[in-house]
Structure 1
């Protein structure tokens, strides 16, 4: 069941999203060679709680971190720990914030110093595919239009959409209906209506699309070891057009 949100609900989600965006900006300023993912996690949790919110991921299905921190070939769900960022790494930071009972979810993949041309192409393309998806989040469109927008951009650049991982509806619960694949046919799937809120999250590999589970049961890697990127917004469908509820880009992030 897809749960439609009222304009007041969207404002509450936007309040959670504002905390999310400020947290992402805080971490963006800390990402550099030698910093550990645990240090990033601690900084995020401290800030989120200082705002009267809670980190949505912490304890979710047993996840131990406040953020997901996924370097290089790790696509998503990296547990923060002793890993030190190195020059030339890329690091995907996924943050969930719950405020006043509403959840905001978003992700950015950052470079750590200068990166290779293929890494830069991966980041640029994945980010661009997310903004293409935003444009497709129009009332009257179909969910397949959003999915296809991502796929068209990514595959047009010779990169691969991860097919076994999807975005999702979001609201009072972090994961609601519908699932939001990053590939599909335009004009298919549920009709987009005002009040729908989607966590759209392109996950893209520089190599092939297949992934594998890590030994910890959480981290997911590209199967071929190629670099992976992850960008995400929480997006509301409104009668006036798409509304980004986690506007980290407006904070100068990404």
Structure 2
């Protein structure tokens, strides 16, 4: 979600929806199904596979399980998933170009189950990848988990951003500013906005019942991005590698619950495929 899209979503904590047990149960179902889809992707990624084939798998899986891909035709987006390769930051559109040995690819899936949105993304290695690519993915996953660890009642959105920014920049990487996490539930993009860096002019106190994504995009180079002519694909301006991981979470009385954990333990590459 772009920063610009969030400007009218939430200007005060009172506008952030607080959800009850029924919503958490709905999010568990949606998150689990999305995680299952991402597990299937892990088992098909290899050189020569096209992102179009990945997208077809996601669509067929959703249809077979009574779900619907939230991105399909969302604001005109043409596919059931986003597939972002190497220097593509996010919103890469699946196509017939085959993956190549050494690529890293983010697959972002949101499945709607009984009206609830499960939103998650992971990085995948295509064959043997460079050490710098592995390091970037490790750093990005650690950023996500440190952001999640900061979530608890009474903490703030800036605590999430501070945890991510401090670690990424301490590892000589940069945090993308143009895209952010967001509230979700029965609505795909809702309040609160979740920035992955500290912004003194925007801060929301976290409370039990809030549901949102954390989805840091971390670059090996500078943080600047540009959107290509298709209106969706965002790439690094310096063409440096970029990586992203994303979970959907809910704030509980004592911390938070992650709705989109992998049933097979494939949350971070390299995946051990049986």
TM-score by length of 1: 0.97
Q: Which range is displaced more, 146-155 or 32-41? A: 146-155
Query: What secondary structure sits across from 2:35 in the alignment?
Result: helix
- The aligned residue for residue 102 of structure 2 is 88
1:86-235 pair list within 5 angstroms: 86-184=100-198, 189-235=203-249
Q: Deviations over 1:74-115 (max 9, x none)?
A: 010011111211000000100001011110101111111111
1:48 is displaced (CA, Å) by 1.3
Q: Which runs of 5+ in 2 are unaligned?
A: 1-14, 269-274
Which residue, out of 236, 245, 249, partners 2:259? Answer: 245
Q: Deviations over 1:176-203 (max 9, x none)?
A: 01111110069x7111000001111000
Q: Which runs of 5+ in 1 are unaligned?
A: none
Q: Deviations over 1:5-49 (max 9, x none)?
A: 101211111100110010000001000000000000000110111
CA distance in 2, matches of 1:12, 1:249: 17
Mapped contact 1:22–1:251 kept (Cα < 8 A): no
TM-score by length of 2: 0.90
Mapped contact 1:145–1:185 kept (Cα < 8 A): no
Query: What secondary structure sits across from 1:248 in the alignment?
Result: coil
Mapped contact 2:32–2:260 kept (Cα < 8 A): yes
RMSD: 1.4
Q: Does 1:55 align with 2:74?
A: no
1:214 is displaced (CA, Å) by 1.1
CA distance in 1, matches of 2:150, 2:165: 12
Count of aligned pairs: 254
